[in-house]
Structures are given as structure tokens and as C-alpha cells.
């Protein structure tokens, strides 16, 4: 998964400083294109850039076109064939083709619309940016394109004219229990694009020595998840085996719209967990959202393999796979 792209924020910042700015977006790819659809590059009128649309293959040409688009105050739809030699230079096995939409901020992409998009991103509110490349109509859509948002899939609609750029909040992983499995899961989750946080009130477990550079909260779990916030781009993983620690966070997760809840423990342990949740007033549909025993059944042995199974199950649920 691509890391979270701050190109819209950069574009607005540069524009706000009085710098003519354009935002270039990959709108379509064929073959082994270096960047996925939706990847963005910011171009300043002084030639500075941030981001990437091709991993270095065509950035120079995009900058030239963008500077001309800024000067003319018009959008441009560019198409580039990535040759085998260029593709090999950026680590690809073969070539590809990409189309890039260049939108000068202000004259084409309205500054108020860009600001509204960035404010939604700051609120962790999923948003779709819609542009018709034939008519130039642009709009922000809330509560639309649910499948695209779930799959993080920007692209053209069936009409071939309406491009939809998905702007999802970064994925987050909240882990209750700073145990060995968590030590393996955190770096794996980071590679997969998650921003992890570890919760454990037990000082012996929740130490920076065990989780260097990571966010660690030593509050009681229900207080900690309240501080972090729970939403549809958050996964909650419970690893302590201790109902006193797991259950407060579990109840908070069941009441929120998190996309994944997983809890460590045997089938017998999970049956007891289900009974406790029923006693707490949760219905069968809510309780069915708990994945327990946690992780895909891959015959995992040891903390690292269990972490792989958990991350695989999180991915399957996120992408709508059974």
C-alpha cells in the first residue's frame, strides 16, 4: 500500500504562500506503471516539486507541462509511454503507460474546494474528488463511491470521462497488549501502511525499549481508545488474554464503526468473551464482528506467524473478502 500522500496539503500551502501551483494526478495506467492511480505530484511555479507520479520516469516532462498549464490557466491531460529501459531504471520488469491530469490551483482546481478537501482529511473523513475531463466539472462527494472508498481505488467511471480520486484517512491499528505478537505485528503493519498505537497499562510491557519510536499509551484501554478515537479506517486488535484489559477496549470498538476487531484466545476463550458481551447488552450482529480466535487459519506457530495471520485477516476484511 502507498503511504499517505500529503500532496493536497502541500499544494494549498504553496499556493497560500503566493506561489503558482499545480497538482498532477495519475488517472489511468496500463502495464507495469510505477505508481498507482491516484498518486500525485505537486509542482510550484518556481520548478520545485514534491511527490511522484512515475517514480522518476516522466517527472521532468510533467513539470514542463505543468509550468505551461500554470501559465495558461488550463488543465492538461497527459499520456506517457514508459519504455522498457526507463522502467528497468526504476526497478520495473517491463514498461507501461500512464495518463496524468494536471490541474493548476485557483484557475482550474478552486482553492475553496481544495481547502474543503484538506479539512475533511484532517477530520479523518473519507472524501471523493470527482472531475469530468470533458466538461471540467469538479465536485467533492461525501457518502458516495462506497466501493471505491472501501478498496482505496481511484479511477474512471464507466463513462470514461468521470475520474474519481479517493481520499481516505490513513489506516490505523490500535493494539491492546504490548506482548510478543504486538512486537512482530507493529513493523508488519507499518509496511502495509498502518499507523499503529499500542495500549497497555502494564509498565513492564509498554516500554519504549520494546517498541522503539512507537506510540504507546499506558492509560486504561477504554480511556486510551477514547483519546485515540475510533472510526471506519481503524482496526482494533486485542492481545492480552485478560478480560479486565481487553473487554473495555472491545466494548468501545463494538460501539464504534471500526472496520476490524480481532481478539486473541482459543475457541473456549472466545465463547466466554461472547457470553460477557451478551451480558453487557451487545446483540448477536455486533458480537459477530469480533474475529476470534484472531487471524486467518494458516497454521501459524510463534508470534511472527500469528502476526502474519492477523494482518492477512485485517486486509481481507478491509477489502471486503470473506
End-to-end CA, the chain: 20
2 pLDDT band, cuts 50/70/90, is very low
CATH 2.40.50.140 is held by the domain 171-318: no
Residue that wins the pLDDT comparison between 81 and 274: 274
* pLDDT single digits (tens) 167-208: 998 899 999 999 999 999 999 999 998 999 999 999 889 999
Q: How far apart are CA 103 and CA 54, in angstroms?
A: 17
What pLDDT sits at residue 31? Answer: 75
Coil vs helix vs strand at 277: helix
Q: Under a CB-based contact definition with an 8 Å cutoff, are residues 226 and 251 in contact?
A: no
* pLDDT single digits (tens) 208-254: 999 999 999 999 999 999 999 999 899 999 999 899 999 999 999 99
pTM equals 0.79
What stretch(es) of the chain map to CATH 3.40.50.720? 171-318
The residues, any chain, with a CB within 8 Å of residue 124's CB and separated by 6 or more, are 169, 229, 231, 233
What pLDDT sits at residue 200? Answer: 96
What pLDDT sits at residue 3? Answer: 47
In DSSP terms, 155 is beta-bridged to 164
48 pLDDT band, cuts 50/70/90, is very high
Check whether 82 has a pLDDT greater than 70: no
Helices (H), 82-125: 84-89, 111-122
Coil vs helix vs strand at 258: coil
Phi, psi of 77 (to 5 degrees): -110, 115
Question: What kind and span of H or E run contains 276?
Answer: helix 267-279
* pLDDT single digits (tens) 85-143: 665 555 555 567 889 999 999 999 999 999 999 999 988 899 999 999 999 999 999 98
Q: How far apart are CA 42 and CA 9, in angstroms?
A: 10
57 pLDDT band, cuts 50/70/90, is confident
* pLDDT single digits (tens) 3-37: 457 899 999 999 999 999 999 999 998 876 667 89
Burial of 197 (0-12, 13-18, 19+ CB in 10 A): buried
The whole-angstrom distance between residue 119's C-alpha and the CA centroid of its chain comes to: 17
Q: How far apart are CA 201 and CA 210, in angstroms?
A: 14
Helices (H), 280-318: 284-287, 303-318
What pLDDT sits at residue 72? Answer: 96
Q: Under a CB-based contact definition with an 8 Å cutoff, are residues 76 and 102 in contact?
A: yes
Q: What is the DSSP letter of 293?
A: S
What pLDDT sits at residue 167? Answer: 94
What mean pLDDT is predicted for residues 259-284? 96
What pLDDT sits at residue 1? Answer: 37
- Which residue in 194, 246, 255, 254 sits closest to 224, CA to CA? 246
What mean pLDDT is predicted for residues 279-299? 96
Amino acid at each position: 500500500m502507498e503511504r499517505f500522500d500529503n500532496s493536497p496539503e502541500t499544494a494549498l500551502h504553496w499556493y497560500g504562500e503566493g506561489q503558482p501551483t499545480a497538482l498532477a494526478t495519475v488517472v489511468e495506467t496500463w502495464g507495469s506503471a510505477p505508481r498507482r492511480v491516484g498518486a500525485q505530484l505537486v509542482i510550484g511555479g518556481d520548478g520545485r516539486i514534491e511527490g511522484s507520479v512515475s517514480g522518476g520516469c516522466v517527472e521532468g516532462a510533467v513539470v514542463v507541462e505543468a509550468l505551461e498549464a500554470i501559465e495558461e490557466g488550463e488543465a492538461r491531460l497527459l499520456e506517457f509511454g514508459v519504455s522498457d529501459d526507463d522502467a528497468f531504471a526504476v526497478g520495473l520488469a517491463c514498461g507501461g503507460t500512464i495518463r496524468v491530469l494536471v490541474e493548476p490551483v485557483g484557475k482550474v482546481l478552486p482553492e475553496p474546494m481544495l481547502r474543503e478537501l484538506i479539512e475533511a482529511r484532517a477530520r479523518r473523513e473519507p472524501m471523493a474528488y470527482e472531475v469530468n475531463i470533458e466538461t471540467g466539472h469538479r465536485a467533492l462527494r461525501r457518502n458516495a463511491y462506497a466501493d471505491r472508498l472501501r478498496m482505496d481505488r481511484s479511477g474512471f467511471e464507466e463513462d470514461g470521462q468521470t475520474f474519481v480520486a479517493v481520499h481516505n484517512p490513513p489506516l490505523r491499528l490500535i493494539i491492546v497488549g504490548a506482548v510478543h505478537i504486538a512486537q512482530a505485528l507493529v513493523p508488519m503493519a507499518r509496511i502495509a501502511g498502518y499507523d499503529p498505537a499500542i495500549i497497555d497499562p502494564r509498565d513492564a510491557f509498554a516500554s519504549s525499549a520494546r517498541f522503539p519510536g512507537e506510540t504507546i499509551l499506558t492509560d486504561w484501554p477504554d480511556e486510551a481508545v477514547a483519546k485515540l478515537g475510533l472510526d471506519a479506517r481503524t482496526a482494533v486488535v486485542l492481545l492480552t488474554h485478560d478480560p479486565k484489559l481487553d473487554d473495555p477496549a472491545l466494548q468501545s470498538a463494538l460501539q464504534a464503526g471500526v472496520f476490524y476487531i480481532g481478539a486473541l484466545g482459543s475457541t473456549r476463550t472466545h465463547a466466554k468473551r461472547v457470553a460477557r458481551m451478551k451480558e453487557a447488552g451487545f446483540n448477536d450482529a455486533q458480537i459477530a464482528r469480533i474475529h476470534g480466535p484472531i487471524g486467518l487459519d494458516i497454521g501459524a506457530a510463534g508470534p511472527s506467524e500469528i502476526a502474519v495471520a492477523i494482518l492477512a485477516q485485517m486486509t481481507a476484511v478491509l477489502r471486503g473478502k470473506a
